[in-house]
């Protein structure tokens, strides 16, 4: 059960925070009159914050060094971005969770017992219940927006985007509970999924920058086009010929990660004109860091989710 424990905790460290922030972004995007949607989004923000808090307590001395060093759990900007976003929106954010994550130690010689396995099972069930509810809320928001019955500052594509990520998270938890491990996914499908996520990040960034930020808008548009080409090539590529495309995707994502790092530094430093929340900038950076770890492990012949 060692693999089950480690992978569950690593999954929640990344995706649990992502879902907590999705809830916050939904919450921040509603007009004041939408009290019911605001309350529901805030409830899920609290639920995922609670789940992440529990995850961090269990993860110390267990999770892998590669995950902690990847920048997918927290970055150098996360704490500042949270404080700024809390001040700008008035939405509560427990920054002590981030401080605890920054102190997390990697496991070297991990042993598990029945007690911790029991805790992990309870945590997985809790996160799965919250996920089911959040997915239903996102689906409802998308229907209402598409039917012109609800206004939000979030693009319809962004709602579809965060819905896909939530469904992937649910699939991973379900497989962990069903099999105790995560099977190595098909590399082609994996790259298709994450390349679309990266492409849409670039499209969102381009649409949320101030029109005067011409150079940054052009760069974001360039990355959107790069990932669009990679998606089209992956669709046509024979599975046996994916290695060369993966190498190109890795190089593109390294450059994109540098762009996102500079962007997050600029937004948290109030040097870039935009309507991008500081925490959203850090959020998309962490997702790029996560994808970089997946691609790097794929190049080394490891399981694409970083499993040895």
Residue 110: pLDDT over 90: no
Average pLDDT over residues 237-249: 80
Where in the chain are the domains? 1-63+104-183, 184-308
The band of 242, judged by pLDDT with boundaries at 50, 70 and 90, is confident
Q: Which has the higher per-residue pLDDT, 300 or 144?
A: 144
Interval 176-192: pLDDT, tens: 999 888 877 778 889 99
Residue 305: pLDDT over 60: no
Interval 195-217: pLDDT, tens: 999 999 999 999 999 999 999 99
Average pLDDT over residues 139-150: 98
pLDDT of residue 99: 98
pLDDT of residue 250: 96
Average pLDDT over residues 276-288: 98
The band of 240, judged by pLDDT with boundaries at 50, 70 and 90, is low
Backbone angles phi, psi at 209, to 5 degrees: -75, 150
**Topology (CATH level 3) of domain 184-308:** Ferritin (1.20.1260)
Residue 302: pLDDT over 80: no
Residue 63: pLDDT over 50: yes
Distance between CA 86 and CA 95 in Å, rounded? 10
pLDDT of residue 172: 96
pLDDT of residue 211: 97
pLDDT of residue 50: 98
Average pLDDT over residues 282-288: 98
Average pLDDT over residues 238-261: 89
pLDDT of residue 184: 72
Average pLDDT over residues 127-146: 98
Average pLDDT over residues 213-235: 96
pLDDT of residue 306: 43
The band of 303, judged by pLDDT with boundaries at 50, 70 and 90, is low
For all residues of the chain together, what is the average pLDDT? Answer: 94
pLDDT of residue 307: 39
What's the CATH superfamily of 1-63+104-183? Protein of unknown function DUF2935 (1.20.1260.120)
pLDDT of residue 183: 78
Nearest alpha-carbon partner for 124 in 178, 62, 73: 178
Asked if the domains 1-63+104-183 and 184-308 are classified in one and the same CATH topology, the answer is: yes
Distance between CA 91 and CA 86 in Å, rounded? 5
DSSP the chain: -HHHHHHHHHHIIIIIHHHHHHHHHHHHHS-TT-HHHHHHHHHHHHHHHHHHHHHHHHHTTTS-HHHHHTTSS--TTHHHHHHHHHHHH-----HHHHHHHHT----SS----HHHHHHHHHHHHHHHHHHHHHHHHHHHHHHHHHTTS---SS-HHHHHHHHHHHHHHHHHHHHHHHHSS-PPPPHHHHHHHHHHHHHHHHHHHHHHB-TT-HHHHHHHHHHHHHHHHHHHHHHHS-GGGHHHHHHHHHHHHHHHHHHHHHHHHHHHTT-S-BS--HHHHHHHHHHHHHHHHHHHHHHTTS-TTS--
């Amino acid at each position: 059960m060692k693999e089950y424990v480690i992978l569950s905790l690593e999954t929640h460290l990344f995706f649990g925070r992502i879902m907590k922030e999705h809830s916050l972004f939904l919450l921040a995007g509603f007009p004041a009159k939408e009290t019911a949607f605001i309350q529901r989004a805030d409830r899920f923000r609290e639920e995922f914050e609670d789940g992440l808090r529990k995850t961090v307590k269990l993860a110390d001395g267990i999770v892998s060094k590669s995950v902690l060093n990847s920048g997918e759990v927290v970055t150098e900007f996360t704490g500042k971005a949270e404080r700024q976003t809390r001040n700008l929106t008035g939405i509560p954010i427990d920054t002590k969770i981030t401080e605890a994550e920054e102190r997390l130690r990697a496991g070297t010689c991990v042993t598990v017992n029945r007690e911790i396995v029991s805790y992990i099972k309870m945590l997985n069930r809790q996160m799965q219940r919250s996920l089911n509810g959040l997915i239903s809320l996102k689906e409802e928001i998308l229907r209402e927006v598409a039917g012109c019955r609800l206004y939000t500052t979030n693009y319809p594509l962004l709602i579809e985007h965060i819905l896909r990520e939530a469904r992937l998270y649910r699939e991973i938890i379900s497989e962990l509970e069903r099999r105790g491990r995560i099977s190595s996914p098909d590399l082609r499908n994996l790259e298709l999924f994450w390349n679309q996520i990266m492409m849409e990040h670039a499209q969102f960034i381009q649409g949320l920058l101030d029109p005067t930020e011409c150079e940054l808008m052009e760069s974001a548009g360039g990355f959107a086009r790069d990932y669009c080409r990679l998606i089209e090539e992956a669709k046509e590529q024979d599975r046996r010929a994916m290695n060369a495309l993966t190498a190109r995707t890795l190089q593109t994502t390294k450059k994109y990660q540098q762009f996102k790092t500079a962007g997050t530094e600029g937004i948290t430093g109030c040097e870039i004109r935009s309507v991008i929340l500081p925490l959203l900038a850090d959020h998309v950076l962490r997702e790029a860091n996560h994808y970089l770890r997946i691609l790097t492990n794929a190049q080394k012949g490891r399981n694409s989710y970083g499993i040895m």
